[in-house]
Structure 1
Amino acid sequence: MKIEPQHVVSLTYDLYVDQEDGSEALVESATQEQPLTFLFGAGQMLPKFEENLSTLSTNDTYDFRLTPEEAYGEHDEEAVANLPLEMFQGADLPEIGSILPLQDNNGNHFQGQVVSVAEDSVIVDLNHPMAGQPLHFKGTIINVRPATAEELSHGHAHGPDGHHHH
């Protein structure tokens, strides 16, 4: 079956990023046993990722690259936040390199990586961990099926075969 909007796609992927020495490093994978399953066209995935898959069908393999602009954007030096230490009262201070779940004034959730801890604030890098990096995806389309009415109303897939909320 061909991939189309309002279809649920299950696929394997290996995601590679470029290393400074010119080689590629595998940073994420989805396997046959644990595939990535998503509702195509629902805006959950990178638009260019979906665009590259849009001509494929079950059992097709793919291999494509996304530029940083097509993926998570360029690394933005300005995208840092100073969080006052008061925010962490009663909690341990985060370690450098740890990822903090944050929320902005509009209620949007995002993650920041702690880059330093100063006397009165914690400095967090708000860039996506893969910002500024071209992404190289390789994988196979395992399954394509029409989404159920429930999946469409919820806007996301319920597992490879669809599942019911208990």
Structure 2
Amino acid sequence: MDTINKYIAVDYQLYIVEDGKPHLIEKTNADKPFVFISGLGMTIEGFEKVVEPLEKGGEFDFILSPEEAYGAYNDERVVNLSKEIFSINGHFDHDNIYIDAVVPLQNEDGNRFLGRVVAINDDDVRIDLNHPLAGKELNFKGKVVETREATNDELQSMLAHMSGEGCGCDDCQGDCGSKHEKEGGCGCGCGHCH
């Protein structure tokens, strides 16, 4: 039996649970829901497992442990990188490299990822490569705005986005990366530009 990839749009609030108390850290709205296609590994597996079987209008309220979400916080993923990496024409890039800045990085294999600047020293920059929500217990609350079988065009668009060819929403014409930098996202509500 073939797996059906579902086009799912959800309006949700995400809380981190610390000391038994929830703290709101992210929310969408029904006009600009979070959109994903099931079965492509686009979301946390535990999130998809709960949301995928729900019908339109179905509500959810569940907690994922750190292991079910972004894993445990790993001190070994905090590294010191030479300041030279962050220099342009021999000058350190003070405009973009500052405490708490999230910076795009790339390893020798060409894999891209984000790191957060935690310290700037005389010779190096300390970067935290853990996911920002690593080690956190997450509480998702919300409802399904839309759920149906994904079309071939939607699948192709989403796969193009996942391979770095843009989000496929048509609003940003595949240029959501530069729109994200300039405008905080293309504003289309595709769920992939933020």
In the superposition, the TM-score normalised over structure 1's length comes to 0.87
Structure 2: unaligned runs, 5 residues or longer:
162-167, 174-194
Distance in 2 (alpha carbons) for counterparts of 1:78 and 1:106: 20
**Residues 82 and 123 of structure 2 are in contact (CA less than 8 Å); yes or no, is this contact kept in structure 1?**
yes
**Residues 9 and 34 of structure 2 are in contact (CA less than 8 Å); yes or no, is this contact kept in structure 1?**
yes
Map of 1:55 onto structure 2: 53
Map of 2:118 onto structure 1: 115
Distance in 2 (alpha carbons) for counterparts of 1:70 and 1:133: 10
Query: Secondary structure of the equivalent of 2:76?
Result: coil
How far is 1:41 from its partner? 1.2
**Residues 39 and 157 of structure 1 are in contact (CA less than 8 Å); yes or no, is this contact kept in structure 2?**
no
Which one is further off, 36-45 or 147-156? 147-156
Map of 1:11 onto structure 2: 10
How far is 1:19 from its partner? 3.0
**Residues 37 and 157 of structure 1 are in contact (CA less than 8 Å); yes or no, is this contact kept in structure 2?**
no
**Cα-Cα RMSD:** 2.1
Deviations 1:80-139 (A, max 9, x none): 222111112225231111111111222222111111111111010111111000100000
Answering whether residue 117 of structure 2 is matched by residue 92 of structure 1, we say no
Distance in 1 (alpha carbons) for counterparts of 2:32 and 2:157: 22
Query: Secondary structure of the equivalent of 2:98?
Result: coil
Closer, same or farther: CA 163–117 of 1 in aligned 2, 3 Å: closer
How far is 1:62 from its partner? 0.5
Query: Secondary structure of the equivalent of 2:81?
Result: strand
Which one is further off, 120-129 or 104-113? 104-113
Percentage identity across paired residues of the two chains: 38
> Residue type matched to 1:49 in 2?
F
**Residues 157 and 169 of structure 2 are in contact (CA less than 8 Å); yes or no, is this contact kept in structure 1?**
no
Map of 2:191 onto structure 1: none
**What is the number of equivalent residue pairs in this alignment?**
159
**Residues 12 and 140 of structure 2 are in contact (CA less than 8 Å); yes or no, is this contact kept in structure 1?**
yes
Closer, same or farther: CA 5–46 of 1 in aligned 2, 3 Å: farther
In the superposition, the TM-score normalised over structure 2's length comes to 0.75
Distance in 2 (alpha carbons) for counterparts of 1:40 and 1:5: 8
Structure 1: unaligned runs, 5 residues or longer:
none
| Structure 1 segments (4+ residues) deviating >6 Å | none
Q: Which has the higher contact order (CA 8 A, sep 6+)?
A: 1
